[in-house]
Amino acid sequence: METTENILICKCKKVTLADIENALHDHTSLSDVENEFRHVQEVTHCSTGCGGCHDKIMDVISSIISG
């Protein structure tokens, strides 16, 4: 059984929901979705393969920012 943290968001780079949350963890204030996406991409390399996960990653980041 897969836990929420282990949900695979980016299949190409094997990035999970927990990986995205961890990448955002070191930011004390989350500015906007586009900036945070770039940061997550730098840390995890997500959405640098086929790009099919872009919208899922943006949704995850938006959800984290909005609490």
pLDDT, tens digit, 9 for 90 and up, residues 6-50: 899 999 999 999 999 999 887 767 778 899 999 999 999 999 999
What phi and psi, each to the nearest 5 degrees, are found at residue 7? -65, 125
Its pTM stands at: 0.83
Residues sharing a CB contact under 8 Å with residue 23, sequence separation 6 or more, in sequence order: 39, 40, 43, 44
Write down all domains in the chain, each with its CATH number in brackets: 4-66 (1.10.10.1100)
How far apart, in whole angstroms, are the C-alpha atoms of residue 13 and residue 36? 18
- Cβ atoms of 15 and 45 within 8 Å: the answer is yes
